[in-house]
Amino acid sequence: MNKRNLFIGAGAVVVIGLLTVISATRWSDARAGAHPQASAASAEMIARGAYLARVGDCAACHSVQGQPPYSGGLRMETPIGAIYTSNITPDRQHGIGNYTLADFDRALRYGVANGHTLYPAMPYSAYSSTTPEDVAALYAYFTREVRPAAVPRRENEIPFPLSMRWPLTIWRLAFAPEPRAFQLKTDDAMLRRGAYIVEGLGHCGDCHTPRGPALQVRALGAAGGPAYLSGAMIDGWHAPSLRNGDSTTIGAWSEADIAQFLRTGTNRHGIAFASMNEVIANSTQFLSAEDAAAAAHFLKSLTDPTSGKGAYAYDPAVSQSLRNGDASARGAQLYLDNCAACHRPDGKGYEGVFPALAGNPVVTAAPPDSVIRIILEGMTTARTAGTPAQFSMPSFARRLSDQEVADVATFVRDSWGNRGAPVAATDVKRRATAREEAKP
Amino acid sequence: MKPVDAVIIGYGWTGAIMAKELTDAGLSVLVLERGPERDTATDFDYPRIADELKYAVRGDLWQPLAGETVTVRHKPGEIAVPYRQYGSFILGTGTGGAGAHWNGQQWRASPNDLRIRSVYEERYGKKFIPDDMTIQDYGISFEELEPYFDHFEKVTGVAGTAGGNPYEGKRSNPFPQQPLAPILSSQLFAEAARELGYQPFAVPAANSTAAYTNPYGVRMGPCNLCGFCEGFGCFLYSKAAPQTTIIPILKGRNNLKVLHNAYVTRILLDGSGKLATGVRYIDANGKQVDQPAAMVVLASFQLNNVRMLLLSGIGKPYDPVTGKGVVGKNYAYQMVSSTTAFFDESVNMNPFMGAGAAGQQAIDDYNADHFDHSKHGFVGGAMIFAGATGGRPIVQMPLPPDAPRWGSGWKSAVRKHYAHTSSVATMGSVMSYRDRYLDLDPTYRDAHGVPLLRMTFDWHPNEYKMTAFTSARAAEIVTAMKPQRMSQRILKPGDSYDVRVYQSTHNTGGAIIGTNPSNSVLNRYSQCWDVPNVFVFGASSFPQNIGYNPTGLVAALTYFAAAKIRSTYLKTGGALVHA
Amino acid sequence: MTESHPLKRRDFLRGAAGVALASGMAAAGGAAPEAKAYVPAYFTPAEWAFINAAVDRLIPDDGNGPGGVAAGVPVFLDKQMQLPYGYGAYWYMQGPFHPEAPPTLGYQLRQTPRELYRAGIALIDRAAAHAHGKPFAQLDAAQRDALLTQADGGHLQEDGTMAAAFFALLLRNTREGFFADPIYGGNKQMAAWKMVGFPGARADFTDFIDQQGRKYPYGPVSIDGSRG
């Protein structure tokens, strides 16, 4: 579940009081002029809206398995209680059937609906750069194509007085940008398109950009500085840097590699797992080839100033040792006993079935959490139209002790040319404990 | 229950193929599978799958005999008793059926296999075939089936050498993958065979050599000779199985529904008995359900197919005394021998490296009608092949015949021979006879109270001669491998069919294809002569057994029929062949 | 007639008892771990004695690789009796039963493995008592082997068919226990696998496909990750 902590200390209360009157003023700001004009929806418009809903991955939050599409009800935990996503089908009573285009736009880009500010779990910070035409297309799709579902809105489980929403307005004013026309000064149309998708509806930075003490993303776009897409922890996994750097990032990936990854979840370098599996299954597999290429193009344009270790080069020494029967390195025997059957003694895996560990940024990422966690929990690949077969890695939590997990993780991070720091058993224990706590 | 266009009984190889073909054609399809849902990640995961005791001895992926089995007797008139423990053959259940845990040797029939009676009568005279041998031609030519052999090879990613087998029928395409290099025992075999003038070739293996994507877009991983292949599901997605080749593409299809733990007990007929109205099954909750359908596809494996027809009253049961009736007729099996070479300690076989088929080598000189039979006095022949499938110590521990079975002598023999032994096998054809057939047992029932299938079968001199001849050839090859010593296990006249000893799961016949209703249950499109909206797929169609593993031919016949069903039957209905 | 009970009796040689006690304590020092580690859940003490004695003859501790008892085969057998296998869950067990059917038609007795062990052990123990006046477990090696050979060949006077069926099952299960993965209680420390050079649940020989004939360099690994 998404967790949020909207308060950063008692000091915030003072600020809250002072600004209350301000929020009342900003609250009613309609600025109607900025909203897209309503117009008759065309079939083409609706189709584009359907495509954009996929790019923005609305279903990930507003659709719940077993319930009608977009009827809401996904539970998201916060430290002050749980909230539920809204029914955004065109049902008049329980959904947005009575929404005007302006109402829809206000929710999507401004984060205001029904007269109050929405919880930031709804990623309106990223959606703020959506063009009016795209907003209208989304509106057309949701009000014309999506079937109405009379599913009542679930009441949030936040007790009074914490349930008062006015502090949210302060957060929004401080950290959510004024909706603005998307601007990127470049003649490269592909670059511009890619930025529009990644910074906007794709809201990739919500996961791949680190956050500040108020849980705000540190950069909302490339213009926000090198923090943007520089890698972050999300839901207990490490979402690696997407900037163009060295072997600890996707610097070694070509634009075609990145595009293939987004559309199928796999390329010669690795296979998506964890939260990214859901993004691919629900969203990026549906990117058009052009849009996927544009997104890739944009990502390659983001240089990583911290990189400097040089390009990855495969080192066959470890593989040769294993072939020769030498498994004396720390974790090597464990790797043979547990991992080599699938990921192969040479670390190259089998493209499209078992990911390569050699030269894989996830493997060498600075926080080793993802490596540790996938060893403990296992994982199954995403199913896409292009890759109908799903492949699984089993859990080794029962088979390997914390020390053994640390040893084998250390081995894969330091073999075949990988240059990742060693992993300690305490790192594993922390991750394992959190996992235990997560059990229902 | 809401009617469906087609019900498919069984979700093994033929059931998966038909589910794909019929849903591609837009039909609403319901698959009823008696076993549980099984997939690689949940049921064949590593390291749990690397368990010889659980999967190769107890057979946890196989059909539990406690709930259903067959009864066996050697001769008509004898009392049949239940096949209480696994031995001679193994039955599949659950998603993938036997295809989930087969070996993966994927052969095409030899062209003459399909017209065996004609060929033998032309070549050796009518008298050559004994009176009580009931073999017959299929009525379908190799050329008609070739495109479907080819397609199935692509679906399963077969690794082989085009032209490697000089007796193979003409192929339109090479194998989709190159074979894996032979393992040591195969290398020694191939060298010896070449020395003796044979042309050894890589056994066509549905064990992928590399990462491979099949025509349906399903990706497979490469085989690394893990040694836990036949009897096991493949954790590496390397072995072709319905769940690693076809079923992923079927998931999520709106016009396909699959019910597991759904045990079909009979096909329902209308008042005339000429039209199927649906099937009756017991669902996962133990309820009896009648499912209406316009078309019934019987894809439950050869033995179960015949039982289903008998239980449903489709066709006339075969009477071995009068020769009348066809359902249950022409049951056939496989005759296997092994010749073992024992080397000294300098030869490290590493027998645990192996796959169901990958890395194996074979010669086909004495199979089918590839050689002159006139002086040998038998019909048929055998493929001769070598290679290890895993060297698992509980079951795969070949010892010299004079080694003690227990005690210190057994230990010494085990220690001495385990890693230094190689086997050459003959996979021999079995012809059909009047006194071999399948019917319903009058006494025994399954866990649901439904009568079991009864098998009446014993060997005939034809098989003893065939295996003696081909095993002698195998012995020559093994001798040329220069072992320290060798031994043979061959069935000889007087040895009754022994259910305790594994031969193969290549059971065939009982619902055979033919040219008219008096000699067969099915027409060339696997359609029931008596009930035209029932199609039956599996080795039950074989009028007699071939000297190869059956699945390639089973699939080709299925795809061949599916093409006709899609192009003609779905438009017109009714009989596709008029008798 | 009055019965004679050949229990340990009239052990009035206290010196001998002392000697035995001392040697017993010494023996307990070595045997205690096993004796205390596993208490059979299915086999009675007398049956357990039989099982250990028989396994010791089927796979003797002869200095040439592990013995069946040290490898934990009796533990394996007792555990199997507690699993579905022991209850006959893998066998078709509906009647009627025809023990007189030809052997080539397979096992036709009505006993589940648990029942067959119980009846078979009692059968052989009675034969041992008849021939030697004591239970099988108290016979010497040659006597045990002779009885096992008789049972194997179906020549036990009381019921040859059952004796042969029991022996076949015992031998089969003993081999299973010897070579199965250690998670089942036998093949302790993978001793049997090491004896023959089987690498266990490794299942990956990628590097060695092109090194045919070279002895595989790594020792065995178990399903639970233990290394031998």
If you write DSSP's letter for every residue of A148-212 in order, what string do you get? P--PPPPPPB--TTTT--HHHHHHHHHHSPPP-------S-HHHHHHHHHHHTTT-THHHHS-B-
Tens digit of each residue's pLDDT (9 = 90 or more) over C173-191? 999 999 999 999 999 999 9
Structure tokens, B375:
């002086």
Quick one: which of A3, C37, C73, A125 has its CA closest to B394?
Answer: C73
Query: Which residue's structure tokens are 């589940």?
Result: C112
**Could you tell me how far CA B376 lies from the centroid of its own chain?**
27
Q: pLDDT tens digit string along C92-145?
A: 998 889 988 998 999 999 899 999 999 999 999 999 999 999 999 999 999 999
Q: Which helix (H) or strand (E) holds B72?
A: strand B70-73
- Domain assignment present for B303: yes
Q: Which residues touch B480 (CB under 8 Å, ≥6 apart)? A: B192, B193, B195, B196
* Interface membership of B220 toward A (CB under 8 Å): yes
- Category of C189 on φ-ψ map: left (φ > 0), alpha (ψ -120 to 50) or beta: left
Residue B45 lies in a domain: yes
Q: Indicate the average pLDDT of chain C.
A: 81
Collect all residues with Cβ–Cβ distance below 8 Å to B335 and sequence separation of at least 6: B382, B426, B428, B429, B430, B459, B463, B466, B467, B491, B503
Dump strand ranges (E) for B270-399.
276-282, 288-298, 335-342, 361-363, 382-386
Give a yes or no: residue B155 inside a domain. Answer: yes
Distance separating alpha carbons of residues A259 and A288, to the nearest angstrom: 10
User: Does A30 have pLDDT greater than 90?
Assistant: no
Prior bond of B3 cis (ω within 30°)? no
- Kindly give, in sequence order, each residue whose CB lies less than 8 Å from that of residue A308, ignoring residues fewer than 6 positions away: A246
Alpha carbon of B536: minimum distance to chain A alpha carbons (Å): 28
Top residue of B219, B237, B243, B249 to mutate, by most chain A CBs within 10 Å, is B219
| Set of chain C residues whose Cβ sits within 8 Å of the Cβ of B350 | 205, 208, 212-216
pLDDT at B466 over 90: yes
How many CA atoms are closer than 13 Å to the CA of A74, on its beta-carbon side?
Answer: 20
Chain B residues whose CB is inside 8 A of the A351 CB are: 211
Q: Average the pLDDT over B442-448 and give the result.
A: 92
Query: Residue A316 pLDDT more than 70?
Result: yes
Whether chain C has a CB inside 8 Å of the CB on B173: the answer is no
Nearest-angstrom CA–CA distance, A175 and A16? 15
Looking only at the bridges linking them, the beta strands covering B288-298 and B4-9 are parallel
Inter-chain contact B244–A338, Cβ cutoff 8 Å?
no
Tens of pLDDT, residue by residue over A60-110, are 889 988 889 999 988 887 666 788 899 999 999 999 989 999 999 999 988
Are B204 and B175 a contacting pair, CB within 8 Å?
yes
Give start and end residues of each alpha helix (H) in chain C: 14-37, 45-58, 73-82, 113-132, 141-152, 160-179, 191-196
Report the run of H or E that residue B184 belongs to, with start and end.
helix B184-195
Helix or strand run (H / E) with residue B265: strand B263-269
**DSSP letters along B450-492, please?**
PEEEEEE----HHHHHHHHHHHHHHHHHHHHT--SEEEEE---
pLDDT score of A434: 52
Contact B47 C96 (CB under 8 A): no
Distance from CA of B350 to the nearest CA of C (A): 7
Closest CA to B325 of B308, B303, B310: B310
Q: Which of B433, B531, B569, B513 is nearest to B139 (CA)?
A: B513
pLDDT score, position A433: 60
Task: List the beta bridge partners of residue B266.
Answer: B280
CB B447 within 8 A of CB B34: no
- At residue C1, the pLDDT reads 35
Amino acid at C132: H
Is the pLDDT at B94 greater than 90? The verdict is: yes
Instruction: List chains touching C (3+ CB pairs under 8 A).
Output: A, B
B448 at interface of C, judged by CB pairs closer than 8 A: no
Mean pLDDT comparison of A154-158, A317-321, A404-408, highest-scoring range: A404-408
Calculate how close chain C gets to B233, using CA atoms only, in Å: 13
Tokens of B264: 């079909």
Q: Which of B66, B187, B406 has the CB atom closest to C90's CB atom?
A: B66
For residue B332, pLDDT beyond 50? yes
* Separation between Cα atoms, residue B400 and residue B409, nearest integer Å: 11
Q: Which residues pair with B545 in a beta bridge?
A: none
In angstroms, how far is the first alpha carbon of chain B from the final one?
Answer: 34
Is B506 noted as a catalytic residue in this protein? yes
Q: Is residue B555 part of a domain?
A: yes
Please answer yes or no on whether C204 and A345 come within 8 Å at the CB atom. yes
Kindly give the interhelix angle for C73-82 and C113-132, rounded to the nearest 10 degrees.
Answer: 130
Amino acid at C220: P
Chain A from 328 to 387: CB within 8 A of any B CB: 338, 341-342, 344, 350-354, 380, 383, 386-387
Eight-class DSSP state of B109: P
Cβ B184 vs Cβ C212: under 8 Å: yes
Residue B556 or residue A215, greater confidence:
B556
Predicted local distance difference test score (pLDDT) of residue B451: 95
Eight-state DSSP code of residue B297: E
Strands B421-428, B382-386: pairing kind:
antiparallel
Q: Give CA–CA dist B135/B76, Å, rounded.
A: 19
3-state secondary structure of C23: helix
d(CA C98, CA B79): 9
Instruction: Work out the pLDDT band at A153, boundaries 50, 70, 90.
Output: confident
CATH code (residue B177): 3.50.50.60
pLDDT of residue C37: 56
Largest CA distance in chain A: 75
* Domain span at B428: 6-572
State residue B208's pLDDT score: 94
Establish if B192 belongs to a structural domain: yes
CB contact under 8 A, A338 and C225: yes
Tell me the per-residue pLDDT of A363-418, one tens digit each, with 9 for 90 and over. Answer: 988 888 889 999 998 888 888 887 888 888 888 888 888 999 999 999 999 999 88
Q: Name the band, by pLDDT with cuts 50, 70 and 90, for residue C6.
A: very low
- Please list, in sequence order, all residues whose beta carbon lies within 8 angstroms of the beta carbon of residue B363, skipping any fewer than 6 positions away: B193, B198, B199, B200, B201, B383, B384, B385, B477
Encoded tokens for C216: 């595989």
Peptide bond into B47 cis (omega under 30): yes
Q: How many residues does chain C have?
A: 228
| Domain A316-438 of CATH type 1.10.1740.110 | no
CA–CA separation, A3 vs C96, rounded Å?
Answer: 65
B577 located within any domain: no
> What is the structure's pLDDT at B439?
96
| Pairing mode, strands A270-271 and A232-234 | unpaired
pLDDT > 90 fraction of chain B, expressed in percent and rounded: 92
Domain parsing of chain A, residue ranges: 3-175, 189-301, 316-438
Are C204 and A340 inside 8 Å of each other by CB?
yes
For A355, name the nearest residue in chain B, comparing CA atoms only.
B221
Query: Quick one: angle between helices A43-55 and A132-140, nearest 10?
Result: 100
Token pair, residue B40, equals 């690689």
Domain count, chain B: 1
Interface contact B208, partner A, CB < 8 A: no
ipTM: 0.61
Tell me the nearest-neighbour CA distance from B92 into chain C, angstroms: 14
At A119, the pLDDT band (50, 70, 90 cuts) reads: confident
In a domain, B292, yes or no: yes
> One of B373, B420, B460, B506 is an active-site residue; which one?
B506
| Least confident piece of the model among A411-415, B207-211, C39-43 | C39-43
How deeply is B280 buried, as exposed, middle or buried, from its count of CB atoms within 10 A (0-12, 13-18, 19+)? middle
Q: In sequence order, which ranges of B357-480 are alpha helices (DSSP H)?
A: 408-417, 461-480
In the predicted model, is pLDDT for residue C23 greater than 60? no
C21 — pLDDT class (breaks 50, 70, 90): very low
B65:C91 CB<8 A: yes
CB A205 within 8 Å of CB A225: no
Q: Is A94 annotated as a binding residue?
A: no
Whether B1 is covered by a domain: the verdict is no
- Nearest CB to C206 within list A338, A345, A400: A345
Residue C3 pLDDT > 80: no
Q: Choose the most confident range, by mean pLDDT, from B40-49, B65-74, C23-32.
A: B65-74
* B47 to chain C, closest Cα gap in Å: 6
- Distance separating alpha carbons of residues B49 and B43, to the nearest angstrom: 8
Q: How many CA atoms lie within 13 A of B474 on its CB side?
A: 34
Residue type, B214: N
B47 and A338 within 8 Å at the Cβ level: the answer is yes
The contacts of residue A132 (CB under 8 Å, 6+ apart) are A34, A35, A36, A105
Contact residues, chain A, for B251 at CB < 8 Å = 383, 388
Give the Cα separation of B350 and B226 in Å (integer). Answer: 12
